Structure 1
């Protein structure tokens, strides 16, 4: 699916930030390198950005810059792991995940008492998936296993999670956000999640 892109000029005009601020935030890794998309135009090479993600990120930076340093924000926006750990009871009490998601966790890890960030993320993704209403509990267990077994391979790279279904049989996989995917006929994409966005949403719960 083709992204809705905006030019650098449009971005600066809409947000009121300066050229210097934009590239300082890039250097500090508040804005991912891959969001700076070089394209050929009739005037030469120009830089474009994914509209929705870029506007959302700049709004977040501007709303938090008085409370957090640039380094603290960079850590929060990073797709890498965090030192956050919580018990299942704390997750439920803080409304981070639902009981349905915890049931999936306990099926995989009976008696677990503390979840490290990687497990928190896997569980959070399961919860987001269940909330769509398109995912069955068997699918949710498959998602949890896929995340646990493979996410470290994408630890510092942007990736997405897809659940597909054909003739009632579901499959789940992680893939790079770059490039398109093509499936055989009658295959339906049931759900697609941007994991960088899920990581960001989860870390924001602890700010």
Structure 2
């Protein structure tokens, strides 16, 4: 009886932690209703200011079985910046910071993923912001996948990512020298991605 219980427990644990795998790489699109791209920037050497972008889209190709990730493209609409302070948000949209009239989007692209564990990895890519492209590495965690229990029943996966960029690398130098506004920008990325139908 003890052996039967042990075998049963092993099967249950395996079912919980082994996500469904695809037979081949599949395309995924970021669910616009379940995506958050946030950032933290130090202010006056006192505290971090938390902000986010409200309009984000993207897609990628992923094979859960091999952990191969490619064709990553995430596009952020820069005028969608939000920090819960209207005057600050307007300043961020101006030429001192995001200069949204001249650069309405910033884009992250990647084709190189480095697995660091069963559900973690490093995504090596490039961020184009203010017309300047620089390397950016994100620490990525695969949070799991499942078929939606409501709606159209699509299959989705969850992704968490973290990274840090220096805005001065992209020519955004306002208030960097006197450290009124921090140079380092901590990125907080959370989203669900919907698996697309397999192509014939």
TM-score by shorter chain over 0.5: no
Q: Larger relative CO (CA 8 A, sep 6+): 1 or 2?
A: 2
TM-score bucket (shorter structure) = under 0.3
Give me the TM-score of the superposition, normalised by structure 1: 0.24
Which structure has the bigger radius of gyration? 2
For normalisation by structure 2, the TM-score amounts to 0.25
